[in-house]
Structure 1
Amino acid sequence: MLGSPESKTKDLESIARSGGALHRMAARIPTYWTDARENPAWLPMFLLARTILFRKAHWLTARPVPREANSSPSMFGDLDARMIAAKLKSTGIFSGFTLPAEIHEAIARFAQETPCFGNFDRKLEFLAGEHTEAERRFGRTILSGHHFERVLQCEAAVAVQQDPLLLNVAKHYLGGEAKLITTRTWWSFPTKTATDADLSRASFKFHFDLDDWRMLKFFFYLSDVDPDSGPHVYMRGSHNRRRLKHQLTLLVGHPAEEVLDFYGEENAITLTGKAGSGFVEDPFGFHMGTLARQTPRLMMEVGFGVSKPSKRRYHGEPVIR
């Protein structure tokens, strides 16, 4: 039976969607402890970067963009990095990227043919096309499937990661020290085994990211995404305007109704699009990935920051004890 006592592994998805906020924070303590031991500079960032005051102070340390910034041809055509960075500073988000067909089709083919890991757990390995069978075999609801470092085996994904426009946008927005931090592809799966609580928590929780003092993330849909396929939602302007309650707490996730009420429903942007469409955002702004209800969603992320990335584990992979 799903969630039976015989299942001893506590994966990140099940932890995130069970119990209260304190329970979820307690479950992440081993991960936080390992991050702090690996990089002592992580702890002050984690505690202070959630506040507008300290974030703005850190932005003052940004280095100027070097004049010799890469001007090599981009797969995205003649999009202007300065214009995109200016839009990001104003709203926190810019949409308008389109991957060439041969690129997004190659990455999608790779994602179909390469096993992923369910719910961030390397013990739950399966092919995306065998998702229903994997839920039966592992005896649990599986809402996501990440490829972790395997994405770097895909030449098309690496080409996106290394496209000069992405780094140019990052440098003009974050400062001259901007560097590549993460590249990942993952599936979001519809499931018939999720409880009402799973569906509620998965669909109505805005959060912001605290991976670094200054961050920028590019997202690309590798499958068609409509309102029933788990579209990404971003709260425009929330990257530089933050309710005090949302700064003076260790929680990064907050109920949708609370976020919508303060930042304004008119500022909630739901991003749908065809396979190959993309956008870039400052992930300090509130955002959420809604639940895929009808068809799976395949997505790619390329993230930039200003601090050194973790060498201990791949993006999103927790330490759970």
Structure 2
Amino acid sequence: MTDQPTGKSQAASLEMVARNGSVLRRIAVRIPTYLADIRENPAWLPMFLLARTMPARKAHWLGAKAVRRHENTAPSIFPTADCEQIVDTLRASGLFCGLALPTSVHEEIARFAQQTPCFGNFSRRLEFLPEDHSQAEQRFNRSILSGHYFERALQCEAVIALQRDPLLTDIAEHYLGGQAKMITTRIWWSFPTKAASQADMRLASQDKYHFDLDDWRMLKFFFYLTPVNEDSGPHVYLLGSHKRRILKHQLTLLVGHPANEVLGAYGANNAVTIMGEAGLGFVEDPFGFHMGTVAKRSPRLMMEIGFGVSRPSRRRFHGEPVIR
């Protein structure tokens, strides 16, 4: 006589089926982007497969080169920042919070962003001015969770100046090694919206802990360009998670995982929610688990400058996804 499954086991089985189906859908959505990355740079594939494992990452870190000596370095817009202290903090916890953009710089970038059309949900077909977000949702008949500028960000002189700031390069080289180079720059809005799809939320990396696999070794600088509180989508980072990884998170193709699973593995007490005024800057090792939360009442404008050790993509701006 065959044992009949209990209600509890049936529910667990159904949950597993649903979860597996969700995983397959998430992988399927990314396949066009994966294929494009492989075609452009075949070395991307071994990085993508192996850089999530701790043995491969530690082996790759052994190839870090000595920091180069720079002559005639221009002054930094962060005159009081201590590179050595920042790097030591990053190595210990994966996060340093305490950089501050001069008012003139963050106001110039914010003004540029307010006056320049952005692209909604990573789609160049959804173009609108940020102040017209609500009208854009009606015009395109869909919720719009994010607005990116892609290469338009480089039209702003303050963005270029921040890219070239010697402190950022100095920190990146001392943390990643002498081969560190800037590989990403982006400005984007996170908008309060209704009924955002799970696919759009995944694309915007919101409300799900994940780690980045854009390169073997990376460092990212973030700057808030608008005030950020608990209602405007603060960034969250899990301290220390850049140095350890449970086996389950090394042996899956997915970089995003449920919050309860991640917090259970790496400690809920290590989750830091970053809030502050416009101009607040922080630096993180994006291999550590992190996420952007959903903006509930007010939009968040943010800038990122990322450093890595491999050549950047020439096909897309800041890893722009391939959307069918």
CA contact (8 A) 2:114 2:131 kept: yes
Structure 2 counterpart of 1:221, from 215, 221, 224 = 224
Q: Structure 2 regions of 5+ residues with no counterpart?
A: 1-20
State the alpha-carbon separation in 2 of the partners of residues 213 and 90 from structure 1.
19
**Bigger shift: 66-75 or 222-231?**
66-75
Distance 1:251 1:202, change over 3 A: closer
Which residue in the other structure is 2:10 paired with?
none
TM-score when normalising by structure 1: 0.91
SS of the aligned residue for 2:183 comes to strand
TM-score when normalising by structure 2: 0.90
> Does residue 1:86 correspond to 2:88, yes or no?
yes
Structure 1 counterpart of 2:250, from 243, 247, 252 = 247
Which residue in the other structure is 1:147 paired with?
149
Which residue in the other structure is 1:284 paired with?
287
Distance 1:279 1:53, change over 3 A: same
The root-mean-square deviation of aligned C-alpha atoms, in Å, is 1.8
Shift of 1:173: 0.1
Shift of 1:44: 0.3
Which residue in the other structure is 2:37 paired with?
35
Q: Structure 1 regions of 5+ residues with no counterpart?
A: 1-18
Per-residue CA deviations over 1:211-234 (Å, capped at 9, x if unaligned) read: 000000000000000011000000
Which residue in the other structure is 1:56 paired with?
58
State the alpha-carbon separation in 2 of the partners of residues 75 and 198 from structure 1.
36
> Does residue 1:191 correspond to 2:201, yes or no?
no
CA contact (8 A) 1:69 1:168 kept: no
Which residue in the other structure is 2:109 paired with?
107
Distance 1:193 1:248, change over 3 A: closer
State the alpha-carbon separation in 2 of the partners of residues 152 and 216 from structure 1.
20
Determine which structure has more spread, i.e. the larger CA radius of gyration. Answer: 2
State the alpha-carbon separation in 2 of the partners of residues 196 and 93 from structure 1.
28
State the alpha-carbon separation in 1 of the partners of residues 215 and 103 from structure 2.
32
State the alpha-carbon separation in 2 of the partners of residues 177 and 58 from structure 1.
12
User: How many equivalent residue pairs?
Assistant: 303
Shift of 1:294: 0.4
Which residue in the other structure is 2:67 paired with?
65
Give the counterpart letter for 2:211 in structure 1. F
> Does residue 1:236 correspond to 2:261, yes or no?
no
Per-residue CA deviations over 1:51-85 (Å, capped at 9, x if unaligned) read: 11100100000001123377431101121212211
Which residue in the other structure is 1:13 paired with?
none
Residue identity over aligned pairs, in percent, reads 67
